[in-house]
């Protein structure tokens, strides 16, 4: 069943284009950001230079989010959902195969994108970024990207519409991380958004020894919160898939 889902992924060109875009976008942003910091445009990164390596992933993740959405909604837009459910009447098995195939592809992309972003940022900065915590941050980033892809798939399964799913997910991920999340009072709430729960592990939440930046959770507990978000989205998606007609 997973092989069949992989065949579907390969047949949707718009989905395939999002995969290399994650690598290219993250790597390019990492290099440009590092060059800016190297030329004196980012003193804020001096306290934790690992921010340079992983901040690009907050934008680089967006193609993978789109990929997760299209992995499910393309079934509805093309009408193949009927044939898929006719071939696999057990909707739990169908959905599990869909989640597994999509997440495995995203994990493979993450294993490439994360080291590329880290190394290009290091090259642009002109010095080593292998400082304390870098191995945990790399591991966390490799977990974060496929988890966000699975989360997007779950949301898309509930909504069954590409425009609606992306119209909700992309603004939330962009505004929550890049805009509203920087407002102190708002950050008390946005710190629990799915994408931001991994920020402590990815060294994006600011110095955790300072009260103004400190989160209400640690690195691994934050990743655990993301897992709970993903589980909730997938359970919600399966509930809709099980109850509604194709």
pLDDT reading at 68 higher than 90: yes
- Mean pLDDT across the stretch 57-68? 93
Of 5 and 94, which is predicted with more confidence? 94
- pLDDT value of position 214: 80
Q: Which domain holds residue 133?
A: 2-243
What are the tens digits of pLDDT across the range 166-207?
998 988 776 655 556 566 667 778 888 898 899 999 998 877
Confidence label for 39 from pLDDT (cuts 50, 70 and 90): confident
Average pLDDT over residues 10-16: 72
> What pLDDT is stored for residue 47 in this prediction?
74
Average pLDDT for the chain? 88
User: 142: closest CA among 191, 98, 108, 102?
Assistant: 108
Predicted TM-score of the model (pTM): 0.91
130-144: per-residue pLDDT in tens?
888 899 999 999 999
Q: Give the pLDDT confidence score for residue 79 in this predicted structure.
A: 84
For residue 22, pLDDT over 80 is answered with yes
1 compared with 115, residue with greater pLDDT: 115
Question: 110-115 contacts: CB < 8 A, separation 24 or more?
Answer: 110/64, 110/141, 110/142, 110/143, 110/144, 110/145, 110/146, 111/142, 112/23, 113/22, 113/23, 113/26, 113/27, 113/57, 113/60, 113/145, 114/26, 114/57, 114/138, 114/141, 114/142, 114/145
Tally of domains within the chain? 1
Give yes or no for residue 45 having a pLDDT over 80: no
Predicted confidence (pLDDT) at residue 41 exceeds the cutoff of 80: no
Spatial separation of the C-alpha atoms in residues 231 and 187, rounded to whole Å: 23
What is the per-residue pLDDT across 100-129, written as a single tens digit (0 to 9) for each? 999 999 999 999 999 999 999 999 988 888
């Amino acid at each position: 069943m997973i092989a069949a889902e992989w065949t579907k992924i390969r047949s949707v060109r718009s989905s395939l284009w999002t995969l290399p875009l994650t690598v290219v976008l993250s790597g390019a942003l990492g290099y440009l950001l590092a060059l800016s910091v190297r030329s004196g445009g980012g003193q804020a990164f001096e306290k934790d230079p690992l921010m340079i390596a992983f901040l690009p992933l907050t934008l680089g993740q967006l193609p993978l989010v789109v990929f997760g959405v299209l992995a499910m909604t393309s079934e509805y837009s093309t009408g193949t959902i009927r044939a898929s459910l006719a071939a696999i009447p057990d909707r739990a098995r169908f959905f599990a195969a869909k989640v597994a195939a999509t997440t495995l592809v995203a994990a493979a992309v993450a294993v490439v994108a994360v080291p590329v972003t880290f190394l290009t940022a290091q090259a642009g900065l002109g010095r080593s970024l292998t400082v304390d915590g870098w191995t945990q941050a790399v591991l966390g980033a490799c977990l974060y990207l496929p988890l966000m892809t699975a989360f997007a798939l779950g949301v898309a399964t509930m909504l069954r519409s590409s425009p609606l799913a992306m119209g909700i997910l992309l603004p939330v991920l962009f505004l929550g991380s890049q805009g509203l999340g920087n407002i102190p009072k708002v950050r008390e709430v946005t710190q629990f958004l799915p994408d931001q729960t991994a920020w402590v592990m990815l060294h994006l939440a600011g110095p955790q020894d300072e009260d103004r930046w400190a989160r209400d959770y640690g690195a691994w507990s934050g990743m655990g919160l993301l897992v709970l978000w993903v589980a909730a989205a997938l359970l919600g998606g399966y509930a809709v898939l099980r109850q509604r007609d194709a």
